[in-house]
Each structure stands twice: as structure tokens, then as C-alpha cells.
Structure 1
């Protein structure tokens, strides 16, 4: 992954924990955050959350002029969904059409 101007920040790799420390603490950490720690379960819940968000966005088109994502709200809803597996509340998502491109190399800022 490339992040513009990332050379101005510290190297995240120097802050990673050792695998044995990770294995010993991952369940407790996941419980503290309310997130599943099994990779397949986590991925499935995330895919479900994102699919519901996309469906909510699609349902509002073309009347919506733009989509705006509140990722803090999305994370809270993902945590709730992972705990309860109940239907999630749709997230208001807006997109500025002037910044949308199908080619990721031409992302407009």
C-alpha cells in the first residue's frame, strides 16, 4: 500500500508485537473491542456490514447527490452486528460525484 507523504511518519513495522504475544492476547483484545478474532468470522461480518452499507447507498440513488461515510459509526455498528448478528441500521453515506472515477489511478482530490 502506498500513502502519499508516509515517509514523514514512523515505520509501523517497528511497533508490531511478536506473534507469541499476539496469540496470547488476541482473544482478550477482541473481547475488549467487541470484535471477532477468528479471521473467517471477522471477514464475514465485515463483508456483511459493507454489503448492507452499499445496499443502503444504492437504495438512495440517484436522488442522493453525494455519499459521505462515517467510519466511526460503521465500526460501532460492525461491533454491534458481530455481537448480536441482528439487522444493522443503514449508515448515511454520501459521495461527491465530481471526485468519483472508475480508474483508481485517477483519484481526484
Structure 2
């Protein structure tokens, strides 16, 4: 995660909450046999990836465009970054309003 929208730390906390919730859903309390636990953990990770991938792709894209816009001397590249930002991220602070729900 690049530092341009300052979301690296909060994204990692979101990851922890979502992963804990996915693991909790797949855990069977009282199952001491251990059979199927590997499959359940794999399913939990698949669920976690499906839930987090769109959010992180969006955060990474927004951060990349802001960084590219700030670092390039080319006015044309800056213009393209602005156009993509307007099209993809109309609401500039939408990345701060994410509810990863409760455990």
C-alpha cells in the first residue's frame, strides 16, 4: 500500500477483523479430531480473499493514481490521473468509510 491516502494501517486492521470473522465462522467448537480443519481454514481464507480483494484493489488504485499525479512532471499524465480519479473515485473520502462489521 502506498502512503498517498494513508490507509495502510487501517487496511491491516480491517484485514485482521475480517480474517478473524471468517475463521470464526468456519471453526467447529469441540471438534478435537482435527479432521477437516485444514479444509475449513482454506475455506475461511477463500472467503477472506473474496471479501477483501475489491476493497484493497480500490485502495491501491486510488493511492497509485494520487502518487503518479504528484510525482510526474508531465501535465498530460497528471491530466489522465485526474480524469481517472474523477471517473473511478467521485467521492474523494469514500475510502475512509468502510465498515468491516462486527466479530
Rg larger in structure: 2
What TM-score, normalized to structure 2? 0.35
Task: State TM-score, norm by structure 1.
Answer: 0.33
Greater relative contact order: 1 or 2 (C-alpha under 8 angstroms, separation 6 or more)? Answer: 2
Higher helix share: 2
